[in-house]
Amino acid sequence: MKNKILEHFQTRFDSPKFLVKAPGRANIIGEHTDYNHGLALPFAIDQHIVMVFGENSLGRLRIFAADIDAYEEIEITNLAYQSEGWTRYFINSLLAAELNDCNGMDIVFGGNLPQGAGISSSSAIACGFLTGINAFYNLDHNSDKVIDLASQAENGIGLNGGIMDQTCIVKGRKDKALRIDFRDTSVKHFEMPDNRFSFYLFNSGQKHDLVETGYNQRRATCEQALKTIQSIRPRVKTLRDVTLEDINTILKDHVAQRRCLHVLEENLRVESTCQVLLKKDYHTLGAILLESHKSLSKLYEISTPEIDYLVERSQQIPAILGSRIMGGGFGGCTINFVKGELHPEELERLKQDYEEKCGFELQIHKVSAGDGVRVLEL
């Protein structure tokens, strides 16, 4: 893939200067906890986007998206935040980095990350581009600054998201999961399960655009619930400090109760999973994933009938120890914890059953933990 992107660049532009590899991310446990100052346990995956950078003196951003055979030229001056189109991640990143009056750049990018599947292809683009321009212009931003700028760039499209994806993409390590504490943004690395186990992503085919779904509403509900609790319990700083008694006695809105209960219990599931990894008690991880899915489906209500069917159907395969919806929700992927590997005939039957039941083509990706974003000078 790297050679293919380099060939595209050399065909269209002058000599390349930098190559950036930016992975997607998978999340073992800890969903919709990041913007509630909770805990999550993701890992950077070994599928990634490759982005090649070169220089031009035209004051323009010239970009070729190899995977979709699309080319755009953008005047770098007088930019404004965009909410549509694939170029928005580049434009918004320049604005976040305050580089809307700079020399021109030539970029070719492509990769093997499925779009709209909940594995943060958009965050990979933003983090990869910002890491590249950090090197390109010698900005000397540290990793936390890159994460902050990428979050700003993505929030510029109208999504009031957290920073889990960006943190994982920037700080990921091979064979490690990242326990991210969003109270202080600290990261602790945990050894992934050994090679007797594996993770698979089942892409439901339901492409989700979180800006168009109820993602922002879920966050707004949690923020309002926190204010309500704080009016009675001033000691409470974030939902991380909320107790079950607070939820049951102070919140009168049943929807808010369900949302906060998910956050409280999901944080506990992250802690339990960290202990599973430390003790290598991997067989209990499947049950934790299933508990998380039930909570995300019934309490946080971000699942879909198709995703629920996919989780239920996966339990008919003995090697799949547990499964849950992954990412922002409303479509996308499930993450599946597997003992050993899945047999092709099992996967084929699963694909057939899913397409017959739900009308979507199922795509299956085996993933493992890889390194975070990297820059290679050419």
Catalytic site positions: 165
| 183: DSSP letter | T
Say how far residue 266 (Cα) sits from the centre of its chain. Answer: 17
DSSP character for 241? Answer: G
User: Cα–Cα distance between 12 and 155 in angstroms, integer?
Assistant: 32
First to last CA, the chain: 16
CA 327/CA 293 separation, integer angstroms:
11
Residues in contact with 125: Cβ distance below 8 Å, sequence separation at least 6, in sequence order: 22, 49, 51, 89, 90, 109
Burial class (CB in 10 A: 0-12, 13-18, 19+), 294: middle
Whole-number Cα distances in Å, 86 to 2, 219, 239: 21, 25, 34
In order, the DSSP letters of 159-180 are ----SHHHHHHHH--TTEEEEE
Handedness of CA 118, 158, 241, 251 (dihedral sign): negative
As a whole number of angstroms, the distance between CA 127 and CA 167 comes to 9
Beta-carbon contacts of residue 340 (< 8 Å; ≥ 6 apart): 196, 197, 198, 319
What is the DSSP annotation of 284-344? GHHHHHHHHHHHHHHTS----HHHHHHHHHHTTSTTEEEEEEESSSSSSEEEEEEES---H
Give the residue among 208, 146, 201 at the shortest CA–CA distance from 172. 146
Alpha helices, DSSP H only, in the chain?
2-12, 88-96, 121-136, 143-155, 164-171, 215-232, 244-250, 254-279, 285-298, 305-314, 344-358
